[in-house]
A and B are shown apart, each in its own frame.
Chain A
Amino acid sequence: MKVALNQAVDWYVRLNDSQVTDAQRAAWQAWLAEDPCHAQAWARLEGLRQRFEQAPQGLASMALENARYSRRTAVKTLAALFGVGLVGWQGYQVSPWSADYVTRVGERRRVTLADGSRLDLNTDTRVDIRFDAGQRLIHLLHGEILVQTAKDSRPLSVHSTEGRILALGTRFSVRQIGALTRVAVEEHAVEIRPRLAEAQMLRVEAGQACDFTSGRVGDLRPAQTSASAWAQGMLVVVDWRLDDLLAELSRYRSGYLGCSPEVAALRLSGAFNLDDCEATLASLQDALPVEVHRMTRYWVRIDQRKA
């Protein structure tokens, strides 16, 4: 059978050529009829071809190459970190999809933890939960969370890439933005300790917010009004620039969302429904002298309205 399969493959490669001749086609027909084995081998090749056809042209090869690339990078990262010998599955541990709780872009989720604490996950967020006899740990790997702590004898803290936030019986939100962690406190207080400068501990009280990096704590400032309204599916803005609003809305939807420079500095206030970004975009046309241009669902741009 292997010989017949080899011949079938040779024929396939020849017939698939744009410069195939009638003589070649006739010769292939003759080969097919020569032996039932040949027809059988050809049928298998045909089955294989049909399977490839189920994959969407253009998209498939891109998806396959990118998936392979992302797996390889994940494996490399791990190798660099731990210097371990690698087999495929080890890459899994650093894969971005492996977390205890995950939300996709545009999704929100509320979970109650084992101690009764409540955790809201905003769009595109990943957290791991590590509770043991001595402590309650929430690892924020990506995105934004709102924590409402429950009473428990064990301390509760949130770990971000930049450092630790110790809760002092409280309600607060933590957001990971690039190489920055943003904390806003709604009730009671928290203590922030940057990873590389633990001595720079800073206490943040209710109504205050603070950004910190792994080496430095920023200044205390008043927390934005309704900063955690997202947990109720709302975005509340007061006197925001249009480009800032679009950047914020971009967190909740896939694709490009931007505006032309002429309208970037227009200001507006309002409450927007995060579950219906399209309606929010449409409402901008009522509030401001702008037009929404859509190339596709994934490419939206706001321009000045033509007179």
Chain B
Amino acid sequence: MSTVCPQTMPHAQLELLYREHHGWLHGWLRQRLSSSADAADLAQDTFIRVLLARSAGSLREPRHYLATVARGLVIDLYRRRSLEQAYLDALALRPESYEPSAEERALILDSLLAIDRMLDGLGERTRAIFLAVQLDGLSYEKAAERVDVSVSTVRKHLAKALMHCLLLEDE
């Protein structure tokens, strides 16, 4: 979590924003999510994000801004849930019995989430090669076999994926 910066929105301003738009935002989310508990949570999270954002200042179009922030949170929630389910499924398929603690699971899920976000925007082939080498630990030769390309293509796509991840960190 980021820390509160000196430039954040003054408390009174946030309170006003909350009072005027919270009901609207909750309704907006409720229309888009079929769970009212999720909608309530995300509406709260949106205001927390706004509170922590440096750039909030005075908003010319507060609802547009709130909706943009909320939309990002919805995508994140969806991403997290799909990953959590896929991870539990993958875990259940493992031959040996291995049960990570709740804490371990949360850490692993966080790292999967970070990686999943980083890999957004990579092409299918680049992604497959990256996963084979970096996450499955395959040699270039084995990865080349799996994806059915040459070893030099594996090198090229691996470099491309790594560069993509590094540049994302800058943003």
Chain A residues with CB under 8 Å of chain B are 2, 5-6, 9-10, 12-13, 16-18, 44-45, 48-49, 51-52, 54-68, 70-71, 88-89, 91-93, 95-100, 128, 254-255, 295-299
Contact = CB atoms under 8 A, between A and B. Distances in A.
Nearest to B82: A67
A71 B97 contact: no
Contact of A13 (B77, B136, B159, B166): B159
A276 B90 CA distance: 24
A48 B85 contact: no
A14 to B, nearest CB: 8
Contact of B89 (A12, A66, A91): A66
B17 interface: no
Interface in B140-156: 140-141, 155
Contacts, number: 152
A9 B95 CA distance: 36
B162 A64 contact: no
Contact of B34 (A52, A98, A295, A296): A98
Contact of B140 (A17, A65, A255, A299): A17
A88 B78 contact: yes
A92 B77 contact: yes
B166 A44 contact: yes
Contact of A100 (B35, B116, B135): B35
B91 A95 contact: no
A52 B79 contact: no
Nearest to B70: A89
Nearest to B166: A5
A95 B83 CA distance: 12
26 contacts: A6-B163, A12-B159, A13-B159, A16-B158, A17-B140, A18-B139, A44-B166, A52-B115, A54-B108, A55-B115, A57-B135, A57-B137, A59-B90, A64-B116, A64-B119, A64-B131, A67-B86, A67-B112, A68-B82, A71-B82, A89-B71, A92-B78, A98-B34, A98-B38, A100-B37, A299-B95
Contacts of A298: 92-94, 97
Contacts of B90: 59, 62-63, 66
What is the interface residue range for chain B against chain A? 35 or more
Given A54-B107, A61-B132, A64-B112, A44 B169 contact: yes
A62 to B, nearest CB: 4
A52 B137 CA distance: 11
A95 B82 contact: yes
B95 A64 contact: no
Contact of B162 (A12, A54, A65, A296): A12
B86 A297 contact: no
A5 B168 CA distance: 12
Contacts of A9: 159, 162-163, 166
A10 B162 CA distance: 10
